[in-house]
Amino acid sequence: MSTNLSLRSIMDANKLTGPNFSDWLRNLKIVLRQEKKLYVLENELPPEPAQDATNEVWEYYQSHIDDNEQVTCVMLASMSPELQRQHETMNAREMFLHLQELFSAQSRVERFETARTLFQCRMASGTSVEIHVLQMIGYIEKLGQLGYDLNLELSIDLVLQSLTSSFSQFIMNFHMNKKEMSLAELLNMLKTAEGCLKKESSSVLIFGSSSSKNKGKTSKKKNKNKNKKASSKLAKPIGGVKKKNDKGTCFHCGIAGHWKRNCKSYLASLKEKKLGETSTSGTDRQ
């Protein structure tokens, strides 16, 4: 009895308001399945037996009537006041069928959205294959709850085509072997394949990092050799190092810092001398 009460608490926590009909119905079926009273929603109430019917027939009839009363009360207690007033004169099955009719359009929209999400589902790079496939299985099962059951082959095809390109070899082997399996078995195989792929990628990364280190070392050595050659060329210019030519003392004026040929005083005296020679030559001609 305590178990029944604890499960029925989920109905109190999620009362039917209209938009949540699918969730409410799912919770109701969970409770009734645990209490073994789900048949009340699925079967019509039996007619009252004849007076001379056997005890077994009367017991079955009375059991169905009692279960119907309990399920009806559970359903009414888990509805909004407005919905309670609409259904208080109905039995459990009548209530169930009427609610389905009321909210069938909503279920149709929910089924459409679920199907679209499922068919567009793609595994993102870096995502765990377990999380991805479990999510897809959830969409597939939800469609079944909404009245649209996908067959197993189509469900497996949807899962395989949603995987990343890293699983291409797995998909090819799967189709070649033509092995029949459930979605749970497919999930376990994909988890194993993912583990192998991670090991392969890690080994490639280790090899790549070691080779890049070796390349780095050789390139560093080459750069060092180039730098040495360049520095040696700069240290020894062609023709050797030129020494500075320190200018001595002028023999004409005696001042240091220039030669006689560059001495201004000497050059001026030469100019005056030439002018004097030209003037004397002119007077001699006269």
Q: Which residue has the higher pLDDT, 188 or 286?
A: 188
- Residue 27 neighbours by CB under 8 Å, 6+ apart: 10, 11, 14
The partner residues of 256 in beta bridges, in order of sequence, read: 249
Q: Which residue has the higher pLDDT, 252 or 64?
A: 64
Q: What is the pLDDT of residues 48-107, one digit of tens each?
A: 999 899 999 999 999 999 999 999 999 999 999 999 999 999 999 999 999 988 887 777
Determine the average pLDDT of the residues in 192-208. Answer: 71
Q: Is 257 left (phi over 0), alpha (psi -120 to 50) or beta?
A: left
pLDDT band at 232 (very low <50, low <70, confident <90, very high): low
pLDDT band at 207 (very low <50, low <70, confident <90, very high): very low
Task: Evaluate if residue 286 carries a pLDDT over 50.
Answer: no
Question: What does pLDDT average to over the chain?
Answer: 81
